[in-house]
Amino acid sequence: MRTAITIGVPLAVLVLLVVAALVASRRDPVTYAEGTPEAAVQDYFDMLIDHDAGGAYDLFSPELQSRCGRPSSAEIDYLTIARVVLQEATTSGDTATVRVAVTQDLDSGPFGSGEVTNTETLRLASIDGRWLIDDLPWPYFSCFEKGG
């Protein structure tokens, strides 16, 4: 009887810890108020996670779109974004800067997968009451060629 208790109690504690970790990891993502720079950045990363390059491009300002062509979804298929965490948002008049931590899953071969986290800063402008990305954002390092 004593052996069953000695084994059963630690096993029950372990099961409770696993359940608590699962519940904590499945929390609903934070959503930001519509019409804010934070919401625009959240929409942008939602598009990237869904590999919707066209939708992400639609969140570029007209000035940025005039410089850059529309990328195809194939050009961002390599992205494996695990999570994006807002670190800071600063608004000054009709411009804003939003800093986020972007964590990507990496395939590290037979020993499991790893992660890498980068801090990225996006610059936005309020145009006709809508916050749009106004400077080439991560993961784009150069503009795509404009179609003729």
pLDDT tens digit sequence for 16-53: 444 444 444 445 678 889 999 999 999 999 999 998 98
- pLDDT single digits (tens) 58-76: 999 999 999 888 887 777 8
Domain 34-133 has CATH 3.40.50.2300: no
**Per-domain residue ranges for the chain?**
34-133
Task: Give the whole-angstrom CA distance, residue 132 versus residue 126.
Answer: 6
Tell which residue, 38, 138, 137, has the closest CA to residue 88.
Answer: 38
Q: 57 in helix, strand or coil? A: helix
Task: Give the whole-angstrom CA distance, residue 100 versus residue 122.
Answer: 8
Cis check for the bond before 139: say yes or no (omega within 30 of 0): yes
Longest dimension (CA), the chain: 81
Give the predicted TM-score (pTM) of the model. Answer: 0.74
